[in-house]
Structure 1
Amino acid sequence: MEIFKLVSFGIIGMLIFLLFRDRKDVISVLISLVTGTIIVIFIIDKLFAVFSFMQEISNKANIDTVYLNIVFKIIGIAFITSFGSEICKDAEASNIAHKIELSGKIMILVLAIPILMSLLESILKIM
């Protein structure tokens, strides 16, 4: 199964990371970054399958694709923010990690404004 390969690769990457963590911080961070990137590359096709499924459902439900694209962008921002934040935490730069998380939350809030406005307009029409 694919999940066993991914988890095994992650565990091997973590063990190599732990070997170099005490000696060279730069190498350990690079190992963490490469391991995480390779795992994401392995699962990217699964993500595209989920996105195409969601797009198919939205087409059947006659949902405007603008809103679906916003949701996809929000999901992407959440994943990228989490990935960057965890890399910074591995490098013991938690202060930068928190700033990355904050910026991701603000970007998500900005992208969610059109959805919130549409929801409020729908509520006002009902009233």
Structure 2
Amino acid sequence: MEIIQIVGLGLIATVLILIIKEQKPLFAFLLALTTSVLIFMMLIGKIGSVITMLEDLAENSGVQTVYLKTVLKIIGIAYIAEMGAQIVRDAGQESIASKIEMAGKILILVLAVPIIGIIIETVLKLLPA
């Protein structure tokens, strides 16, 4: 099971970070960053299969792919912003982490505006004139 490998990697990295942190804080941070990237790489294949399945579902249901791509971009921005903010927090930079999260939220809003507009237009068409 992948989760056992991921948790094992996380626990080993955590113990090493705790040992190294007092002597070499920069190496401890680099180990945390490397561990984060490794965990992300372990999940890339799973993410790809989910995207393929969602594309197949959208194609079979007749949903325009532009909507699916937009939603996938929004999800990607959310995950990347969260991961980046957590890594920056690990380095002790809470204010920069907050700015990364804010940037992610703004970019999500920018991508969501066209979809919100289409939803409003659809609702207005359903209302009696």
Task: Give the equivalent residue in structure 1 for 2:38.
Answer: 38
Identity %: 39
In 2: Cα distance, 1:119 partner to 1:11 partner: 45
- Return the index of the structure with the highest Cα Rg: 2
In 2: Cα distance, 1:107 partner to 1:25 partner: 33
Instruction: Quote the RMSD (CA, aligned, Å).
Output: 0.9
Task: Give the equivalent residue in structure 2 for 1:60.
Answer: 60
In 1: Cα distance, 2:74 partner to 2:25 partner: 32
In 1: Cα distance, 2:116 partner to 2:12 partner: 43
User: Which residue identity is paired with 2:26?
Assistant: V
In 2: Cα distance, 1:20 partner to 1:110 partner: 42
1:86-101 aligned within 5 A: 86-101=86-101
User: Which residue identity is paired with 1:35?
Assistant: T
In 1: Cα distance, 2:21 partner to 2:78 partner: 27
Q: Does 1:75 align with 2:75?
A: yes
In 1: Cα distance, 2:121 partner to 2:22 partner: 56
Unaligned runs of 5+ in 2: none
In 1: Cα distance, 2:26 partner to 2:96 partner: 16
User: Which residue identity is paired with 1:60?
Assistant: N
TM-score by length of 2: 0.94
Task: Give the equivalent residue in structure 1 for 2:2.
Answer: 2
Task: Give the equivalent residue in structure 1 for 2:102.
Answer: 102
TM-score by length of 1: 0.96
Question: Structure 1 runs of 4+ off > 3 angstroms?
Answer: none
Task: Give the equivalent residue in structure 1 for 2:29.
Answer: 29
Q: Alpha-carbon deviation of 1:45?
A: 0.3
Q: Alpha-carbon deviation of 1:35?
A: 0.1
Task: Give the equivalent residue in structure 1 for 2:11.
Answer: 11
Unaligned runs of 5+ in 1: none
In 1: Cα distance, 2:23 partner to 2:83 partner: 24
In 2: Cα distance, 1:125 partner to 1:23 partner: 66
Aligned length: 127
In 2: Cα distance, 1:23 partner to 1:90 partner: 17
In 2: Cα distance, 1:71 partner to 1:25 partner: 38
